[in-house]
Structure 1
Amino acid sequence: MKLGVIGYGGRIKHVIKSIQKEEPACVVQAIADIRPDVVVEGRAEGVAPVPVYRTPEEMLAAEKLDGVLIGTRCSLHTEMALKVLPTGIPLFLEKPVATTMEDARRLKAGYEAGKSRVVVSFPLRATSIVRLVKEIVDSGKIGTVEHVQAVNNVPYGGVYYHYWYRDERETGGLFLQKATHDFDYINYVLGLEPTHVCAMTSKQVFKGSKPAGLKCADCDENRTCPDSTVYGPQKTANWEYCSFAEDTGNEDSGSALIRYASGMHVSYSQNFFARRSAGMRGARFIGYKGTIDFDFYTNEVKVTMHHAPRTETHRFESSQDHFGGDAVLARSFIGLMRGESESVSPLEDGLASALLCLKARESALTGTFQTVEW
């Protein structure tokens, strides 16, 4: 099966490897990228080089493709998707599916008028952990879920201040970067529609008076700064920029309260300066009969019954591909290309998560409750 790629970046390369691991017959047939020197990794000797087109339009017109993957920077996800949707070619779309309300509305309209079926890059909902949590919730074992407490303390949060992600014009803010995953798996488990959201963000750590554009390598404090990416524990070749410069974007913590159609509510909080074993990502789903508690980093799900002296613990084997979710997304996309199955993470859900994130961002900016509607 022939894959076309729009934006051949690091994340989409990983997705392609996951697809090829599931189905070696999938090959990168063509790339659309603004960089003319893009080379496909792992290409066998004697095989013709993959053609690189300057625009998606050129690629789509010249190639017969079985699937298209979009891995551009975030601000271009909507624009590129709108070029593919009318073709009917199955599409793998990275999150966030949109970074502005205008783009979200355009994408919704383009999808409803288009022909392509879509897999959105939401691996968390596809993990064994979340699928077990949903199975338990759907069984009624803990009763109806009446409260959710969710948290994401990101131990690798430096990527949002040292790398290109520091540009809020590209990311749309960190609700769209990280909470979009968490909001999606929460919506998926609950099976309910969010109706209102209020949110707050803070920027207390990653700010400062260092000159704009300063790189860690050029800073006279790069041997003593605990966030140095040249000598410190955050040492990472691609993370070039000073996280304490005056042009460092993005909030460094954020929280949201979300009301659902049933009247219950979810509390969610994310943080980007926690480090090492302080990293945590998971939630508590609480019903009258019991509580489900899980953390992706410990690979455990605990079910505590409220009216019986019993706690069940489920442990999962560790996996590096988004806790096993990437493999499920890969199989789903292969199934779409073959016409054999439906998407495990359709664009309707990608749009719902983006809408909730955009409304949370608006709430944080204006200090108001926001109605979650188009």
Structure 2
Amino acid sequence: MTTCRIGVIGLGQRIAHVLAAMQEVGWDLRVDAHVDAAPVGAPILAAAGIALGRPCETPEALLREGPFDLLMLGGPNHLHREHLAAVFHAGVPIFAEKPIVRTEAETLDLARALAGPGAPDLYIGLVMRSLPIVREVIARVDSGDLGEIVSIDATEHLPPEHGGYLARNWRRRREWGGSYLLDKVCHDFDIFGRLIGARPARVASFGGRRIFTPERAGRPRTYEDGSIAYDLRDAGWQGAPDAFTSDMDVTDHQVALVEYANAARLSFHANSHTALAERRWYVAGTEGTLIADLVRNRLMFRRALHRGKPERMDFGDRTADAHNGADQAMARDLAEALAGRAVFPVTPWDSLEAGLTVMAVDRAMEDRVMLDCAPMWAAYDAARSGAASTQSASRS
């Protein structure tokens, strides 16, 4: 097997976990160079026996250290567009962490670039697309087992240690992460759009910060057995020392309602501090109903007019991070795509549209309106067509 020469821009915790998963499933890889003044992913790579490669000050300096077979972008969300622009025309495949960009303006700018000449092979780390249970959900819907999708009820409820990490990590600030929903659940909204087969037409949302607040700073900080509840992980780049007194300005809980252009409806509930962790999709169709439990990695399905026991599938591979083998599956998908043996399960366009959906939800919450998404999609389609859009993004 030929060694894959990799350059990394933004060596954070997430991209380090992806590299470790790549090696775990059999990649012969070598990180030849990286750009990151303080690579917080270094301990994760060290544990996997992967060297950091040569340090470089800028993406341009890194490119001079090539040639590379793959460039991997893992910086904070606000740097994604800048880093993409720096290596866009290098002639090297790029893997970029999700969300691909952070704002509507960046979305339109990248759409125009992707529609133009010389766009690279671009792979986005929407890791849930590679998860076996998600592949099964998509296959069931595509097969017609559920009939037409009428409605979806979905949740993501995090345990205190995960929510506490987000309240200390750079994702706590809109200027770096975008929003809580954009960073944490753009995966889910990508899948919802795929299952429903239409774009959102109208959205509404309510949310705020009621959990990780200074008023609650005096609450107990350990579980009943004495184990630490909120500080289990290194907070990483720009980390804050305390989840309750940080300068967090994103929501810690949020609900959303989405009506799609084909009249399918979605309700979504996210909470970052729960005693019963859950990531669940309840998909109701005209011919059947499906429940995907992404925490326990189990699927249940029954046809609408059947009274027998539901069909149940247990996918196993449960992990503490609830990715349940998705990182390893994505690593295999990426290897197959780079070798030309298969198509990667998600496209940059899928990622852009999932991001815009979440941005619309967040804007509806902030403006306290039922938001009509048509102007947003018109601007996006103009950018995607390569036309010079006369409409600017409404939020920078």
Q: Deviations over 1:256-309 (max 9, x none)?
A: 11122211111111111113xx00002111012221011111221111222121
SS in 2 for 1:41: helix
Q: Distance in 2 between matches of 1:144 and 1:82?
A: 40
Q: Does 1:204 align with 2:202?
A: no
- % identical equivalent positions: 24
SS in 1 for 2:80: helix
Q: Distance in 1 between matches of 2:109 and 2:63?
A: 21
**Aligned counterpart in structure 1 of residue 196 of structure 2, from 162, 187, 190:** 190
- Which residue in the other structure is 2:46 paired with? 41
- Which residue in the other structure is 2:361 paired with? 360
Q: Deviations over 1:61-97 (max 9, x none)?
A: 3310010111111111121112222223111111111
| Matched AA of 2:122 | V
Report which stretch shifted further, 258-267 or 18-27: 18-27
Q: Does 1:267 align with 2:267?
A: yes
Q: Distance in 2 between matches of 1:36 and 1:367?
A: 39
Q: Does 1:254 align with 2:259?
A: no
Q: Which runs of 5+ in 2 are unaligned?
A: 381-396
Q: Deviations over 1:175-200 (max 9, x none)?
A: 11112011011122233222322222
Q: Which runs of 5+ in 1 are unaligned?
A: 211-218
Post-superposition shift, 1:237?
Answer: 5.0
Compared with structure 1, are the counterparts of its residues 91 and 80 closer, same or farther at alpha carbon in structure 2 (3 Å cutoff)? Answer: same
Q: Distance in 2 between matches of 1:36 and 1:244?
A: 26
Asked whether the 8 Å contact 1:153–1:274 carries over to 2, the reply is yes
Asked whether the 8 Å contact 1:90–1:336 carries over to 2, the reply is no
Post-superposition shift, 1:226?
Answer: 4.9
Q: TM (normalized to structure 1)?
A: 0.88
Q: TM (normalized to structure 2)?
A: 0.83
| Matched AA of 1:241 | P
- Which residue in the other structure is 2:151 paired with? 147
Q: Distance in 1 between matches of 2:48 and 2:231?
A: 30
Q: Does 1:236 align with 2:261?
A: no
Q: Does 1:323 align with 2:324?
A: yes
SS in 1 for 2:251: coil
Asked whether the 8 Å contact 2:172–2:249 carries over to 1, the reply is yes
Compared with structure 1, are the counterparts of its residues 304 and 339 closer, same or farther at alpha carbon in structure 2 (3 Å cutoff)? Answer: closer
Q: Does 1:132 align with 2:136?
A: yes
Post-superposition shift, 1:356?
Answer: 0.7
Report which stretch shifted further, 312-321 or 50-59: 312-321
Q: Distance in 2 between matches of 1:313 and 1:365?
A: 40
Asked whether the 8 Å contact 2:203–2:360 carries over to 1, the reply is yes
Post-superposition shift, 1:42?
Answer: 6.0
**Aligned counterpart in structure 2 of residue 294 of structure 1, from 292, 295, 316:** 292
| Matched AA of 1:28 | V
- Which residue in the other structure is 2:303 paired with? 305
| Matched AA of 2:191 | Y
How many residues in Structure 1 have an aligned counterpart in Structure 2?
Answer: 359
SS in 2 for 1:149: strand
- Which residue in the other structure is 1:93 paired with? 96
SS in 2 for 1:360: helix
Q: Distance in 2 between matches of 1:67 and 1:185?
A: 26
Asked whether the 8 Å contact 2:130–2:333 carries over to 1, the reply is no
- Which residue in the other structure is 1:176 paired with? 182
Structure 1 vs Structure 2 CA RMSD: 2.6
Asked whether the 8 Å contact 1:124–1:323 carries over to 2, the reply is no
| Matched AA of 1:153 | H
Asked whether the 8 Å contact 2:221–2:230 carries over to 1, the reply is no
Q: Deviations over 1:29-61 (max 9, x none)?
A: 11112238996626979x9x7211100111113
Compared with structure 1, are the counterparts of its residues 18 and 197 closer, same or farther at alpha carbon in structure 2 (3 Å cutoff)? Answer: same
Q: Distance in 1 between matches of 2:221 and 2:25?
A: 43
